[in-house]
Amino acid sequence: MKIPVLRRHGLEQTQAILKALAEPRRVAILKLVRSGELRAGEISRHFRTTRPAISQHLRVLIKAGLLTERRQGTSRLYRIRPEGFARLRNFLETFWDEKLAKLKSAAEAEVSDKRGL
């Protein structure tokens, strides 16, 4: 089955988000910057790893669409990109909506059965 290019890109982006979130340090980075913009150095101070390792995590989060980066002089500032989380939420809601539809059908069938007695 061939997936249209636009849907495939959306699927690839969602997979990139899920892979990015699979690494605990990346999740910790997102928690740090959720309340506001932080410099790379401020982020790296929260971890017992090298700055290049944190930079790599930041690049993965940017590529996944979960962070944005802007330069201010020689500093790089990072912040949450809400659109990336909206894509993830939309993806997860497809599973939730499916389960709710099944629950609704089961409840309606039960009500219908009780009325038929």
d(CA 41, CA 22): 23
Domain 5-116 has CATH 1.10.10.10: yes
Nearest CA among 86, 81, 65 for reference residue 20: 65
Question: Over the stretch 50-93, which tens digit does the pLDDT of each residue have?
Answer: 999 999 999 999 999 999 999 999 999 999 999 999 988 888 88
Strands 67-72 and 75-80, by their bridges, are: antiparallel
- For 68, counting Cβ atoms within 10 Å of its Cβ (0-12 exposed, 13-18 middle, 19+ buried), the class is middle
The pTM is what?
0.75
Taking residue 112's Cβ as centre, other Cβ atoms within 10 Å add up to: 9
> What is the average pLDDT score of the chain?
87
The confidence band for 4, taking pLDDT boundaries of 50, 70 and 90, is: very low
Residue 76: how many other CB atoms lie within 10 Å: 16
